[in-house]
């Protein structure tokens, strides 16, 4: 049976992501738009099975979108659900129901369970019935390396790059093997433990893929399969037609240097947000396909340089492993992999770096975590899971493969569960609670989430870390952990675990700056130092003696250096906005010298220098060099690409400028500057029939 489609029109990123997540879990194929103009384009292309729309939208309001839908052929019968934080009056709701035949109308904040009930009532027998349906990008493209008529120039170039890159991998026996002996999840987990940075080459017959990793995280994948091209993904997901794809390819030939996604936006075929979504989907398909390989050679090379890419996977390693296992591992394979551990007791890993990996789990899966306490065998956990046996095996294998849990030869002396049992019952559909910001894939309690559309803004993450780091410089170990000097060992451990979860590397995925990551690492290490000092009786006694003598708690010099660099950068931004370009350049230079790994510092330095003398060829060349270095270090910061594009424009390098603005748009589909520079800001209005 064909998937039911839902069109979500919502400009709030968090709510849009929550709705997408909820509907996908219910079995819908979901398309999201952020404004009324793009919603109309979507409705012209394909009528959804249900429309969920906010009322207050950019460019065109939700009521107007519904009116257009009702006038469309077949649109009178499409169920519509409205949500609004502004139009709450009874007259608005009455008008929506009587004039526009709206099935339900929710005020923000709304209850997700009530929304599901309204959808079920509106759709009746047409409502998807399967829980945990085949999630997006489950479809695996055919494994032919040959031609694909929908492959664009960039995909063909990637194919040649992958074929050429194979020769750069060494023949040494280290970090290499065959997937029939070590499954792909276990290979990834080993590299995660090593915090490996480099390239993982995988070969199966003629198919070759390179998974690029940074500090143990897979960040993007390149493939020699032309069938994994962007056009094929868009057509497969019914976001564009074959004809539109072919037309975009022809336009790219007529205007060399253009990217297919931007051409499709200019055609009015997709929105900027759905371009980013489809690029993300393409990357996921390339990666999750590998989980289905029963064999194939792999080898890792830490010397491989990671190309600057604006689209990253933005998943924790644990989420990647669990999702890949769910999609591609059969029950028979799981039985073979879990057989050695069935009689072993399973317990959480003692190392917080392993223990607190983000799995983004649902309620029933979290209940299974509560069973993993060192007192039950793996077989007992499967039996008591309260969920399907295959689903429980998927989860437990992923937990073992990522070393979130470990098998023990004998029963632990005391319970130590990963998750406490869920205490309060889920709210009833009539209980009003606030809609939560969405996770990646499934439910999550991430403090610093990171996925385009769902993430806490990078600047907010950075500000929180700076605030915490500055506070820690004035605190002793007890204050760092938030406990009193009379706290027992158990209280100290609980406080430590709660705090390190917040700064776990999994919480800092996405377009988070390098200095923010470094701050988190320093905070993590400082918390670990405090815990080690206070959890050992002898060391604690010695520390308290020094504390009583007035000795200060020492924090790392690296932490102070990063905080100073951050302070200089912030002052530089103020000077830049005030037009004091020389002063801004001096501050940005100091920040980049204090912390040279942060690309944003270099990019702003290049931009400030350019603004001082925008027509000086020597300055222009220096600015380009610094901006390109900034992009290499931090390829996902849209401002760096916009700065670079503007310098190229001043130099008359139009094609290079256009590419830079296209990259900025992929980094941030809401970038009004990138849209304006590419002259795409009004595309839906002009293109609409």
Sheet holding 176-178, edge to edge: 176-178, 297-301, 198-204, 207-214, 217-223
In a domain, 364, yes or no: yes
Three-state helix/strand/coil letters over 4-61: EEEEEECCCHHHHHHHHHHHHHHCEEEEEECCHHHHHHHHHHCCCCEEEEECCCCCCC
Task: Return the beta strands (E) in 415-459 as ranges.
Answer: none
The verdict on 250 and 331 lying in the same domain is no
Residues β-bridged to residue 29: 5
The verdict on 260 and 282 lying in the same domain is yes
DSSP string for residues in 593-627: HH-TT-HHHHHHHHHHHHHHSTT-HHHHHHHHHHH
The verdict on 268 and 163 lying in the same domain is yes
**Cβ neighbours around 642 below 10 Å, total:** 24
Higher pLDDT, 356 or 461: 356
**Would the pLDDT of 140 be above 80?**
no
The verdict on 332 and 278 lying in the same domain is no
Q: Confidence band (pLDDT; 50, 70, 90) for 326?
A: very high
Inter-CA distances, 673 with 349, 645, 662, Å: 47, 11, 11
In a domain, 91, yes or no: yes
DSSP string for residues in 352-401: HHHHT------HHHHHHHHH-SSSSBHHHHHHHSSS-HHHHHHHHHHHHH
Q: At which residue do the structure tokens 């200095």 appear?
A: 515
Model pLDDT, residue 682: 58
Q: Do 645 and 657 touch, CB atoms closer than 8 A?
A: yes
Q: Confidence band (pLDDT; 50, 70, 90) for 174?
A: low
Q: At which residue do the structure tokens 């990217």 appear?
A: 259
Q: What angle do CA 178, 181, 184 make, to 5 degrees?
A: 70
Q: Confidence band (pLDDT; 50, 70, 90) for 686?
A: very low
Please give the average per-residue pLDDT across 440-445, as a whole number: 32
Q: Report pLDDT digits (tens) over 460-501.
A: 888 888 999 999 888 999 999 999 999 999 899 989 998 998
Burial 40-50 (b: 16+ CB within 10 A, else e): bbbbebebbbb
**Token couple for 122:** 């509106």
Rounded Cα distance between 402 and 416, Å, is 18
Side-chain half-sphere of 69: how many Cα atoms within 13 Å? 34
Q: Confidence band (pLDDT; 50, 70, 90) for 197?
A: very high
Domain boundary among 540, 555, 570: 555
The verdict on 266 and 398 lying in the same domain is no
**Would the pLDDT of 568 be above 90?**
yes
**Token couple for 520:** 């988190």
| Residue in 15, 285, 340, 297 with CA at minimum distance from that of residue 139 | 285
Higher pLDDT, 594 or 361: 594
Rounded Cα distance between 39 and 684, Å, is 9
The verdict on 281 and 370 lying in the same domain is no
Rounded Cα distance between 333 and 67, Å, is 52
Please give the average per-residue pLDDT across 189-213, as a whole number: 95
Model pLDDT, residue 473: 86
Please give the average per-residue pLDDT across 603-619, as a whole number: 97
| Residue in 291, 373, 375 with CA at minimum distance from that of residue 337 | 291
Q: Tell me how many helices (H) and strands (E) the chain has.
A: 30, 12
Cis ω before 586 (30° cut-off from 0): no
Residues β-bridged to residue 177: 298
**Would the pLDDT of 138 be above 90?**
no
The verdict on 462 and 385 lying in the same domain is no
Model pLDDT, residue 478: 94
Q: Report pLDDT digits (tens) over 235-249.
A: 988 888 899 999 999
Please give the average per-residue pLDDT across 587-596, as a whole number: 96
Model pLDDT, residue 200: 95
Query: In this predicted structure, which of 156-160, 464-468, 553-557, 664-668 has the lowest mean pLDDT?
Result: 553-557
689 CB-contact burial (10 Å; exposed 0-12 / middle 13-18 / buried 19+): exposed
Model pLDDT, residue 17: 82
Rounded Cα distance between 249 and 81, Å, is 37
Q: Confidence band (pLDDT; 50, 70, 90) for 432?
A: very low
In a domain, 137, yes or no: no
Coil, helix or strand at residue 79: coil
Q: Confidence band (pLDDT; 50, 70, 90) for 261?
A: very high
Domain count, the chain: 5
Three-state helix/strand/coil letters over 482-533: CCCCCCCHHHHHHHHHHHHHHCCHHHHCCCCCHHHHHHHHHHHHHHHHHHHH
Rounded Cα distance between 212 and 296, Å, is 17
The verdict on 626 and 533 lying in the same domain is no
Coil, helix or strand at residue 101: coil
Output the CA torsion sign for 232, 234, 235, 241.
Answer: negative
The verdict on 351 and 487 lying in the same domain is no
DSSP string for residues in 245-285: HHHHHHHHHHSTT--HHHHHHHHTSS-HHHHHHHHHHHHHH
**Would the pLDDT of 595 be above 90?**
yes
For 611, residues 6+ apart whose C-beta sits below 8 A from its C-beta are 576, 581
Inter-CA distances, 203 with 58, 119, 169, 440, 614, Å: 47, 45, 12, 29, 49
Question: Residue 40, Cα to own-chain centre: how many angstroms?
Answer: 28
Q: How far apart are the first and last CA of the chain?
A: 32
| Residue in 316, 289, 273, 165 with CA at minimum distance from that of residue 671 | 273
**Token couple for 432:** 């009003």
Question: Residue 463, Cα to own-chain centre: how many angstroms?
Answer: 20
Domain that holds residue 24: 4-126
Looking at the chain, the whole-number percentage of residues with pLDDT higher than 90 is 59
For 516, residues 6+ apart whose C-beta sits below 8 A from its C-beta are 458, 461, 462, 465, 508
Query: In this predicted structure, which of 26-35, 320-329, 534-543 has the lowest mean pLDDT?
Result: 26-35
The verdict on 188 and 280 lying in the same domain is yes
Q: Report pLDDT digits (tens) over 210-220.
A: 999 999 999 99
In a domain, 419, yes or no: no
Helix (H) or strand (E) holding 552: none
In a domain, 426, yes or no: no
Burial 246-262 (b: 16+ CB within 10 A, else e): ebbbeebeeeeebbbbb
Q: Do 102 and 96 touch, CB atoms closer than 8 A?
A: yes
Side-chain half-sphere of 97: how many Cα atoms within 13 Å? 11
Domain boundary among 393, 408, 423: 408
Rounded Cα distance between 270 and 400, Å, is 41
Mean pLDDT of the chain, nearest integer: 87
Rounded Cα distance between 524 and 505, Å, is 9
**Would the pLDDT of 132 be above 50?**
no
In a domain, 443, yes or no: no
DSSP string for residues in 286-352: HHHGGGG-SS-EEEEETTPPPPP-S------HHHHHHHHHHHH--HHHHHHHHGGGTTSEEEE-SSH
Q: Confidence band (pLDDT; 50, 70, 90) for 516?
A: confident
In a domain, 386, yes or no: yes
Rounded Cα distance between 588 and 651, Å, is 23
Higher pLDDT, 443 or 564: 564
The verdict on 250 and 370 lying in the same domain is no
Question: Residue 2, Cα to own-chain centre: how many angstroms?
Answer: 28
Inter-CA distances, 374 with 364, 420, 634, Å: 19, 14, 42
Q: What is the DSSP letter of 238?
A: T
In a domain, 451, yes or no: no
Rounded Cα distance between 249 and 521, Å, is 45
The CATH number of whichever domain residue 600 belongs to comes to 1.25.40.10
The verdict on 618 and 663 lying in the same domain is yes
The CATH number of whichever domain residue 468 belongs to comes to 1.10.287.110
């Amino acid at each position: 049976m064909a998937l039911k489609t839902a069109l979500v029109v919502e400009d709030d990123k968090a709510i849009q992501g929550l709705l997408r997540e909820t509907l996908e879990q219910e079995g819908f194929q979901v398309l999201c738009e952020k404004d009324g103009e793009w919603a109309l384009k979507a409705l012209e292309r394909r009528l959804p099975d249900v429309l969920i729309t906010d009322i207050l939208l950019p460019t065109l309001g939700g009521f107007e979108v519904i009116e257009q839908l009702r006038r469309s052929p077949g649109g009178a019968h499409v169920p519509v659900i409205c949500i609004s934080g502004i139009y709450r009056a009874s007259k608005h709701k009455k008008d929506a129901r009587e004039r526009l035949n709206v099935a339900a109308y929710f005020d923000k904040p709304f209850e997700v369970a009530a929304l599901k009930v309204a959808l079920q009532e509106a759709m009746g027998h047409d409502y998807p019935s399967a829980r945990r349906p085949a999630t997006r990008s489950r479809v695996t493209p055919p494994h032919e390396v040959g031609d694909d008529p929908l492959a664009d120039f960039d995909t063909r170039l990637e194919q040649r790059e992958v074929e050429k890159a194979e020769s750069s991998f060494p023949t040494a026996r280290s970090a290499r093997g065959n997937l029939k002996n070590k499954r792909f999840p276990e290979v990834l987990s080993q590299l995660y433990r090593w915090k490996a940075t480099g390239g993982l080459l995988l070969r199966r017959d003629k198919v070759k893929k390179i998974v690029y990793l940074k500090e143990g995280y897979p960040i993007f994948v390149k493939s020699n399969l032309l069938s994994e091209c962007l056009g094929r993904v868009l057509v497969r997901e019914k976001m564009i037609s074959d004809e539109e794809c072919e037309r975009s390819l022809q336009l790219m030939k007529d205007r060399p240097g253009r990217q297919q996604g931007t051409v499709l936006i200019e055609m009015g075929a997709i929105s900027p947000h759905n371009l980013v979504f489809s690029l993300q989907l393409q990357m996921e398909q390339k990666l999750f396909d590998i989980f289905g390989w029963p064999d194939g050679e792999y080898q890792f090379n830490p010397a491989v340089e990671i190309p600057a890419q604006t689209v990253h996977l933005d998943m924790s390693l644990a989420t990647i492993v669990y999702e890949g296992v769910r999609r591609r591992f059969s029950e028979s394979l799981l039985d073979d992999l879990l057989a050695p551990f069935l009689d072993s007791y399973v317990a959480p890993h003692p190392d917080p770096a392993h223990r607190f990996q983000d799995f983004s789990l649902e309620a029933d899966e979290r209940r299974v975590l509560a069973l993993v306490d060192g007192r039950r065998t793996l077989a007992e956990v499967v039996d008591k899971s309260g969920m399907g046996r295959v689903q429980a095996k998927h989860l437990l294998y992923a937990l073992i493969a990522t070393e979130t849990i470990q098998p023990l030869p004998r029963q632990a002396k005391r319970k130590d569960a990963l998750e406490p049992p869920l205490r309060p019952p889920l709210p009833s559909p009539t209980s009003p609670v606030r809609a939560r910001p969405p996770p990646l894939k499934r439910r999550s309690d991430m403090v610093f989430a990171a996925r385009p559309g769902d993430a806490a803004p990078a600047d907010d993450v950075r500000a929180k870390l700076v605030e915490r780091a500055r506070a820690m410089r004035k605190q002793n170990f007890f204050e760092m952990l938030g406990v009193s000097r009379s706290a027992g060992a158990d209280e100290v451990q609980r406080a430590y675990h709660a705090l390190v979860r917040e700064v776990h590397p999994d919480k800092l995925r996405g377009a988070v700056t390098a200095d923010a990551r470094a701050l988190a690492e320093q905070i993590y290490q400082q918390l670990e130092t405090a815990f080690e000092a206070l959890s050992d009786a002898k060391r604690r006694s010695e520390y308290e003696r020094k504390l009583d003598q007035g000795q200060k708690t020492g924090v790392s010099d690296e932490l102070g250096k990063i905080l100073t660099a951050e302070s200089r950068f912030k002052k530089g931004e103020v000077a830049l906005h005030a037009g004091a370009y020389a002063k801004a350049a001096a501050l940005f230079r100091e920040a980049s010298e204090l912390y040279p790994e942060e690309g944003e510092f270099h990019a702003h330095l290049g931009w400030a220098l350019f603004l001082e003398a925008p027509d000086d060829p020597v300055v222009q060349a220096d600015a380009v060099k610094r901006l390109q270095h900034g992009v290499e270090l931090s390829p996902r910061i849209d401002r760096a690409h916009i700065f670079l594009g503007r310098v190229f424009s001043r130099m008359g390098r139009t094609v290079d400028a256009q590419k830079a603005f296209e990259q900025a748009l992929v980094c941030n589909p809401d970038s009004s500057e990138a849209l304006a520079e590419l002259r795409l800001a009004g595309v839906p209005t002009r293109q609409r029939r």
